[in-house]
Amino acid sequence: MSNTKKTVLLFDKYANIYQEKFMDVSLYHKSLDILCNNIINENAKVLELACGPGNLTNYILQKRPNINILATDLAPNMLDLAKKNNPSAHFQLLDCKNISQLNTNFDAIICGFGFPYLSKKEAIQFIKDSSLILNPNGILYLSTIEDDNKKSGYRKGSNGDEMYMNFHEASYIEKALKLNNFEILELDRVVTQNKNQTITDLIIIAQNKVT
């Protein structure tokens, strides 16, 4: 069974627990506010990948209720929760590795929780694919756990289940963004403690400068 399939099964299994733990996105309010302020179009089309229970979509729609959000995830149970939490949004079952298959362009793309499940190669490809479906001056919001990519591997959760986690480095993400004509508007880090471990979330907001 592939790492992706294992991850989807686990997120389906623990969807309700995940919702209880992560619906509060106050740690990300600063960066999400910057994102909202940089989406110029009042009725912008926004794509969210790996939306989970719709926690980011929920906050964004509170700030910008006229935005048209297509929220996507690969776990059906997560999508069911996201629909309940965001009745005005649109939803689709989608692997974030397949965004090039979408036949439309967007004013913003959000991938707040998907990068830990993408390899380095897949993350770089995602940035390239995003540049092709973003409108000129469109905004890309990325968040990932920052650490040495070589430390990527299986991690055991408190429930005993193992999940493959990819860690990413700012250096190659920034390089990929610049190679694909993005201008970085904001780079921030959110540091938290979890079971005596320091976790650094890297958050990057970039603008598509392709004309």
Label residue 1 by pLDDT band (50, 70, 90).
Answer: low
Label residue 14 by pLDDT band (50, 70, 90).
Answer: low
What pLDDT is recorded for position 138?
98
Average pLDDT over residues 85-93: 97
Residue whose C-alpha is closest to residue 185's, from 37, 21, 78? 37
Label residue 159 by pLDDT band (50, 70, 90).
Answer: confident
Average pLDDT over residues 189-193: 93
Average pLDDT over residues 174-191: 98
Among 13-27, 58-72, 106-120, 146-160, where is mean pLDDT lowest? 13-27
Tell me which residue has tokens 């999400």.
32
Q: Specify the pTM.
A: 0.94
What pLDDT is recorded for position 11?
72
Residue 89 · residue 75 · CB < 8 Å: no
Per the DSSP assignment, residues forming a β-bridge with 197 are: 194
Average pLDDT over residues 112-119: 95
DSSP the chain: --HHHHHHHHHHHTHHHHHHHHS--GGGHHHHHHHHHH---TT-EEEESS-TTTHHHHHHHHH-TT-EEEEEES-HHHHHHHHHH-TTSEEEE--GGGGGG--S-EEEEEESS-GGGS-HHHHHHHHHHHHHHEEEEEEEEEEEEBS-GGG-EEEE-TTS-EEEE--B-HHHHHHHHHHTTEEEEEEEEEEEEETTEEEEEEEEEEEE---
Among 12-16, 110-114, 119-123, 195-199, where is mean pLDDT lowest? 12-16
| Mean pLDDT for all residues in the chain | 93
What pLDDT is recorded for position 4?
80
Which CATH number applies to 3-208?
3.40.50.150
